[in-house]
């Protein structure tokens, strides 16, 4: 009884601010917050309740899977569906953190953008981390990562997402490596050294961010003059921040996925939610409310061409972009993140 009480107390702490209403039928979905969650509310959560009668209890997190790992370890999982990035999905699938996905749930894999259907998850949307700046606070027009590193031409602080992932790729592109050669270079010890040496140049000017809203705020108040940022967050802010600009060249595009934690209690409800959210009609609504590309290609056909043209999946936006190499980060991620932590503390 004592152990059970301890587990209950631990799980309550893990859940944080996620409130569970007294509903007969509900599914708990954890995703990234901000504009992303607002779009999911319109495209997935409310329509799912209207269609099935099952409510969605939703909460947000920053992508750190430590809480989920603890819940899985004590066999007391309170999250039914969780939004994860591609490298974390791959590693979690290998480690048994996520349930295997029945591909029949999402229909024909050929209807999806290549890479969307994975053994333990299905893509929600395609997004890009790119260079963003506030034209009202910058003299000139930065056009790529070489400009991002040029603190003489563009004085001021820079924003980068905390971690080796993205930082190393951007550093190599700033050092002249073509996007399609980045992972070939980064796969060598010399390439890793080259990336960290390039980061050394910018280190005194970097303001690290962890939440997707941080660059939006920092660009507005002038804390940074340029920042890596999620395209959807910047696009959502452009209504109020008219000076915000995005540089698609050199951006890194990736998927966010729905996944089910290992040992999920409400597996049937979780599967129904994932299947529902993967339908073209729901994906269309999502992309109409935030500038992320649908993982289901049939949704693209339903979008207004002007809307589709401003998504990461638009051909012009992908022409000089880099696809996140999930296999690379699954194999090398732990070692590179440890090296990054040591480098950042120096």
Q: Which domain holds residue 184?
A: 127-254+321-345
What single string gives the DSSP state of each residue in 277-288? HTSHHHHHHHHH
Whether residue 289 is found in the same domain as residue 339: no
Q: What is the pLDDT of residue 96?
A: 95
Whether residue 170 is found in the same domain as residue 196: yes
Whether residue 296 is found in the same domain as residue 341: no
pLDDT digits (tens, 9 = 90+) for 256-304: 999 999 999 999 999 999 999 999 999 999 999 999 999 999 998 899 9
Contacts of 269 (CB under 8 A, 6+ apart): 25, 26, 27, 54, 80
Q: How confident is the model at residue 9 (pLDDT cuts 50, 70, 90)?
A: very low
Specify the CATH number for the domain of residue 220.
3.40.190.10
pLDDT digits (tens, 9 = 90+) for 40-55: 999 999 999 999 999 9
Q: Into how many domains does the chain fold?
A: 2
Q: How confident is the model at residue 326 (pLDDT cuts 50, 70, 90)?
A: confident
Pairing label, strands 244-259, 81-85: antiparallel
Whether residue 193 is found in the same domain as residue 148: yes
Averaged pLDDT of the chain: 91
Whether residue 178 is found in the same domain as residue 63: no
Whether residue 107 is found in the same domain as residue 246: no
Q: How confident is the model at residue 327 (pLDDT cuts 50, 70, 90)?
A: confident
Candidate from 12-21, 197-206, 226-235 with smallest mean pLDDT: 12-21
Whether residue 264 is found in the same domain as residue 238: no
pLDDT digits (tens, 9 = 90+) for 146-204: 999 999 999 999 999 999 999 999 999 999 999 999 999 999 999 999 999 999 999 99
């Amino acid at each position: 009884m004592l152990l059970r009480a301890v587990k209950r107390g631990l799980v309550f702490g893990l859940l944080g601010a996620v409130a569970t209403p007294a509903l007969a039928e509900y599914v708990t979905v954890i995703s990234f917050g901000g504009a992303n969650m607002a779009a999911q509310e319109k495209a997935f959560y409310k329509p799912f309740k209207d269609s099935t009668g099952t409510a969605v209890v939703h909460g947000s997190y920053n992508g750190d899977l430590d809480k989920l790992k603890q819940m899985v370890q004590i066999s007391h999982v309170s999250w039914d569906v969780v939004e994860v990035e591609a490298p974390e999905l791959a590693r979690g699938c290998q480690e048994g953190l996520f349930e295997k996905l029945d591909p029949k749930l999402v229909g024909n894999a050929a209807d999806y953008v290549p890479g969307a259907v994975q053994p333990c998850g299905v893509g929600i949307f395609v997004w890009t981390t790119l260079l963003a700046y506030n034209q009202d606070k910058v003299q000139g027009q930065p056009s790529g990562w070489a400009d991002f590193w040029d603190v003489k031409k563009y004085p001021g602080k820079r924003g980068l997402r905390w971690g080796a992932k993205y930082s190393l790729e951007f550093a190599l592109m700033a050092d002249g490596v073509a996007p399609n050669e980045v992972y070939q270079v980064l796969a060598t010890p010399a390439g890793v050294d080259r990336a960290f040496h390039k980061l050394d140049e910018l280190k005194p000017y970097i303001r690290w961010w962890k939440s997707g809203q941080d660059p939006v705020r920092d660009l507005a108040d002038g804390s940074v003059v340029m920042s890596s940022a999620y395209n959807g967050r910047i696009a959502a802010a452009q209504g109020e921040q008219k000076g915000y600009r995005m540089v698609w060249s050199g951006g890194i595009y990736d998927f966010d996925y729905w996944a089910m934690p290992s040992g999920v209690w409400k597996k049937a409800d979780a599967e129904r939610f994932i299947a529902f959210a993967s339908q073209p009609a729901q994906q269309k609504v999502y992309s109409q409310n935030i500038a992320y590309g649908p993982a289901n290609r049939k949704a693209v056909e339903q979008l207004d061409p002007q809307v589709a043209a401003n998504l990461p999946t638009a051909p012009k936006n992908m022409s000089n972009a880099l696809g996140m190499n999930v296999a690379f980060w699954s194999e090398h991620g732990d070692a590179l993140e440890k090296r990054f932590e040591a480098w950042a503390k120096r």
